[in-house]
A = this chain, B = another copy of it.
Amino acid sequence: MRRASFDDLDCSVAHTLEIIGEWWTPLILRDCFLGVTRFGDFQERLGIARNVLTTRLETLVEHGILKKVPYQDNPPRYDYKLTAKGRDLWLVVAALREWGDKWESPDGPPVSMIHKTCGHTTHIVPTCADCGEELSPFDIALKRGPGAKANTPVVA
């Protein structure tokens, strides 16, 4: 019922949630970015039911976000590794973390991000790919893009 409605929404936010919106999936991706690759490690860290974890991992594999790399033949066992498409979800996961750090962590951030290149504790500043200035919702506009359809959501 909900999924049917989502199919009708020609919107990249909806398309993305179709794949990664299920509650556990962003946390599985979080662990992928932390270097976790094995079923048992995901299961232990997240305390997630095995059948739920199996379904979520297979969905991520089907959509090309994770790939299965065999590390044992008998019985067959796999590492689940991020593809380029999967690594591209980093900003989504990082933005979720930073918002929680700022607004829902009264004792301070549980985890700090270090920029290895400069060595400092840091956070993300979103900038314009064209001019390099900082981007905010106040100085952007949205217009119908090249893939717009009749049902593409537009500015109110």
Contact = CB atoms under 8 A, between A and B. Distances in A.
Copies in the complex: 2
A143 B130 contact: no
B21 A143 contact: no
Contacts of A69: none
A74 interface: no
Contacts of A132: 125
A58 interface: no
Contact of A104 (B19, B24, B27): B19
A31 B107 CA distance: 32
A31 B128 contact: no
Contacts of A102: 88
A108 B104 CA distance: 36
A94 interface: yes
